[in-house]
Structure 1
Amino acid sequence: MKVDRLPKVRTSLSPTNHPYMTGAWTPLHEEVNAWDLTVLEGAIPTDLDGVYLRNTENPVHDPLGRYHPFDGDGMVCQIEFKDGAATYRNRFIRTRCFEAEQEVGASLWGGLMDGPGTSKRPGFGAHGSLKDTASTDIVVHNGEAIATFYQCGEAYRLDPLTLETLGVAAWAPLEGVSAHPKVDEATGELMFFNYSKAWPHMHYGVVDASGKRTVYQPVPLPGLRLPHDMAFSEHWAILNDLPVFWDQDLMARDIHAVRLHKGLPSRFALVPRQGGEPRWFEAAPTYVLHWLNAYEDGDEVVLDGYFQENPIPRPLDSAPDGHGHLMAYLDEHSFRPKLHRWRFNLKTGETTEKHLDDRILEFGMFNQKYAGKPYRYAYSTTSKPGWFLFNGFVKHDLETGQSWSIDLPDGVYASEAPFAPRIGAKDEDDGYLISFLIDETKGTSECAIVDAQSFAIVCRIALPHKLSSGTHSVWAGREMLRE
């Protein structure tokens, strides 16, 4: 393996025993380019062509208050495949906030768990005082990678091949872009939403294949909500109003404490994709971090996602002192997400719903060629109890109900694993899952390639350094990129 190490960023981070700044979440501060990567097992498929991009949080400076992993500075790690070879690189996202803190050599903004007055400068997000780290999701649209923030941020553009930060997306509104914009590869459109404390509390937008914003409309809510993700079908964008949001009385004192508001249902807005009056549907109360896919089936719109059975969990007794609340909200085994299906009947206005699996599952992926269309295969992650760490994968055949699992060895943790179609693919599951792995037992990281049909790891590639665990990722085939 050949490695070119770039000049180090300025950091003031002190030694710590914080559970999400140690172990698999130990921050990575070096930036590198690497090639001639060492293949540890199998061979790199010659029919894999494109890039895997994974976003994550890497804190660079000591926090001003209590650290939450979503406060960390955004870093994108990338592996590119072409002609049976692979190259690797990683870069911090040079947001306005990252650059400002590099100038002063210290943190300027408080985080999700901090009270009013912690931040030294005005900030971003629905809070209004957070650092826009662009560290949550990443998608590829119009030849560019778009990195987004946990709440509502500016939407940062990157070159998906070089990882150079290209600035804020021109189409992003002042109200910001929420964590999970969606790209329809069939039309080239990007759909997004945002939310804020100010009426109408939510907006929906569309950006066309050339990067021009063509739709931006209010979707009024009864008050501030905390939607995290959205979905789309052929004719509808699906937004949500879920009964888990900040306590209104405490918010009057600038305290952002999330509560389950009993007596309120879950509500779903089906908005015509090119704008128009939403149609609202009600369902059982829950919170959903991530949706899988949606599609139209006769008079019904079908939506798949991860229904939380316990969205406001009790603090974890097993957590290190002072971290029980934080760790419970990051532990899937505490809030218990289950693969779930909602069906919205456009004629009757009724909703039917059910679990599709009783296991704890989240962070789902599928073949993006089937986004907004009927699909058969879904790929979810499993997690280590007590932790925000992925320890395996589950493939579902949604037609037959069959499923297959990959369980990683103890101490090995995965990244979100998007589906990469092989060149010339004929079937929906004809391709690979790509993931970065962290081996805590060896202190190393590697890239794993999973054959989606046999559902087995067929290639492992050594990476030049140990990564920090991460959040979301994307696969972009060569046709999605600008050379």
Structure 2
Amino acid sequence: MNVVRLAPIVSSLRPSNHPYLNGAWTPLMEEVNAWDLTVIEGCIPDDIDGVYLRNTENQVHEPLGRHHPFDADGMIHQIDFRGGKASYRNRFVRTRCFQAEQQAGRSLWGGIMDRPGVSTRPGFGAHGGVKDSSSTDIIVHAGKALSTFYQCGEAYVLDPETLEQSGVAPWVPLDGISAHPKVDEATGELLFFNYSTHAPYMHYGVLDADGQVTNYVPIPLPGPRLPHDMAFSRNWSILNDFPMFWEPSLLAKGLHVSRFHPEMKSRFALIPRHGKTEDIRWFEAEPTYVLHWLNCYEEGDEVVLDGYFQENPQPGPLPREDEHGHFMAFIDEHSFRPKLHRWRFNLATGQTTEQRLDDRNLEFGMFNQTYAGRPYRYAYSTTTKPGWFLFNGYVKHDLVTGESWTLTLPEGRYASESPFAPRVNAKDEDDGYLVSFIIDENQGTSECILVDCKRFADGPVCRIALPHKISSGTHSHWASRAELDKAKRRKE
């Protein structure tokens, strides 16, 4: 393995016993370029061609107040597969806030658990008091990677192959965009939304394949809400109004305390992709909260939506001797209990029907993105370590037959969100690989693995060493070389 280390960044972080500044969540302070990566086991297939990108909450400076992992700075990790070889690089996202704190040499903003007054500068996004770290999501649209922040930030542009950065996407509206914009590979469009504490509280927009905004409309809500994800079918975009939101009486005092209101229904806004506010169709469903959707498609008069229904959106604190039990319960899937679930919205009758697809705690689902917005068969979910936001395995579902296959990692090894990478010249929907970065707490190392989805339960067919141990993180994306090259030709 050949490694070039870049100039160090400024860090004021001190050693800490905080559960999300240690172990698999230990921050990484170096940026590198590495090539001729060492293969630990198996061999790198020559039928995988593209880049795997993963965003990371990676704290750089000593927190001003109570640290939450979602406060941390964005870092993109990338592995590039080409011709049976792999290279790796990682970069901090140079947000405005990252640059300001590098100049100051310390934290300037508090976090989502801090009271007003902790931040030394005005904040960003829906919360209004925290920094835009751009550390939540990463996608590729029109040949450019976009990193985004779940509280609605500016969206930062990177080259998906080199990680060269070019600042804020020029099209981002005043209220920013939330994490989880969606790309429709069939049309090349990007669908996005944002939310805020001022009326109408949500907007929805569309970019075309050249990155031009073609639609941006209000989605009026009864008050401030906390949507985290959206979905789309061929003709409809699906947004939500869940009964889990900042408590209005406390919000008026500047306190951001989310509460679940089980007496209220969940509501779904179905809007034609290029529709206006007056075109919205509203549907009601059982009260819950959903962090992430899988896929959505149309079947006769129905729009079918798959995602992860939370049975306990407001869990009690985890039993711990320190003060971290409350926030840790809200990121512990075994506390809020997300289940793979299906909603059907009947456009003819206006009725919603629901169906449980699996009784296990599952989340962070992925599928073959060439089927996005279309009927699909296979889904890949993660399992987690009880009490922790750490992925310890995967479940593959055949949504047609109801069969499933489980892959559990050895104790002390933790995965990343793992997108599906279709084989070059793939013949079937599941003809490809899950790609994941692994943190091995037993060895103090990290690696990349490939799982052949045709032989899912067999485990990794290839393990590739990384040049350093990375921190755990959230969302990821696969971009095939064919899609990247197509975007380059479009700009020529």
- In the superposition, the TM-score normalised over structure 2's length comes to 0.97
State the distance in 2 between where 1:163 and 1:129 align: 29
CA deviation profile, 1:261-289 (whole Å, cap 9, x unmatched): 23210000001001222100000000000
Q: What letter matches 1:458 in structure 2?
A: V
Partner of 2:49: 49
State the distance in 1 between where 2:195 and 2:113 align: 19
CA deviation profile, 1:425-479 (whole Å, cap 9, x unmatched): 0100000000000000100000000001110310000000001001000000012
CA deviation profile, 1:82-112 (whole Å, cap 9, x unmatched): 0000000000000000000000100011111
Q: What is the count of residue pairs matched by the alignment?
A: 482
Paired residues of 2:262 and 2:288 also in contact (CA < 8 A): no
State the distance in 2 between where 1:334 and 1:139 align: 29
State the distance in 2 between where 1:77 and 1:71 align: 18
CA deviation profile, 1:281-320 (whole Å, cap 9, x unmatched): 0000000000000000000000000000000000000x35
Paired residues of 1:141 and 1:480 also in contact (CA < 8 A): no
Partner of 2:472: 469
Partner of 1:290: 292
Partner of 2:283: 281
State the distance in 2 between where 1:165 and 1:357 align: 41
Instruction: Please report how far the alpha carbon of residue 171 of structure 1 lies from its aligned counterpart in structure 2 after TM superposition.
Output: 1.3
Instruction: Say if 1:320 and 1:74 are closer, same or farther in 2 by CA, change over 3 A.
Output: farther
Say yes or no: does 1:4 pair with 2:13.
Answer: no
Q: What letter matches 1:79 in structure 2?
A: I
State the distance in 1 between where 2:206 and 2:120 align: 34
State the distance in 2 between where 1:284 and 1:230 align: 18
Instruction: Please report how far the alpha carbon of residue 480 of structure 1 lies from its aligned counterpart in structure 2 after TM superposition.
Output: 2.4
State the distance in 2 between where 1:160 and 1:388 align: 27
Paired residues of 2:415 and 2:437 also in contact (CA < 8 A): yes
Partner of 1:38: 38
Gap runs ≥5 in structure 2: none
State the distance in 2 between where 1:126 and 1:325 align: 22
Partner of 1:229: 229
State the distance in 1 between where 2:103 and 2:184 align: 39
After TM superposition, the structure 1 = structure 2 runs for residues 12-411 of structure 1, keeping only pairs within 5 Å, are 12-276=12-276, 277-317=279-319, 319-411=320-412
Partner residue of 1:478 out of 478, 481, 490: 481
Q: What letter matches 1:137 in structure 2?
A: D
Larger deviation: 336-345 or 246-255? 246-255
State the distance in 2 between where 1:275 and 1:27 align: 43
State the distance in 1 between where 2:231 and 2:368 align: 14
Paired residues of 2:452 and 2:461 also in contact (CA < 8 A): yes
Paired residues of 1:244 and 1:258 also in contact (CA < 8 A): yes
Larger deviation: 272-281 or 132-141? 272-281
Instruction: Say if 1:320 and 1:70 are closer, same or farther in 2 by CA, change over 3 A.
Output: farther
Partner SS, residue 375 of structure 2 = coil
Paired residues of 1:140 and 1:480 also in contact (CA < 8 A): no
- In the superposition, the TM-score normalised over structure 1's length comes to 0.99
Gap runs ≥5 in structure 1: none
Instruction: Please report how far the alpha carbon of residue 354 of structure 1 lies from its aligned counterpart in structure 2 after TM superposition.
Output: 1.4
Instruction: Please report how far the alpha carbon of residue 382 of structure 1 lies from its aligned counterpart in structure 2 after TM superposition.
Output: 0.2
State the distance in 2 between where 1:151 and 1:402 align: 36
Partner of 1:447: 448
Instruction: Please report how far the alpha carbon of residue 72 of structure 1 lies from its aligned counterpart in structure 2 after TM superposition.
Output: 0.5
Paired residues of 1:231 and 1:237 also in contact (CA < 8 A): yes
- CA RMSD for the aligned pairs? 0.7
Partner of 1:413: 414
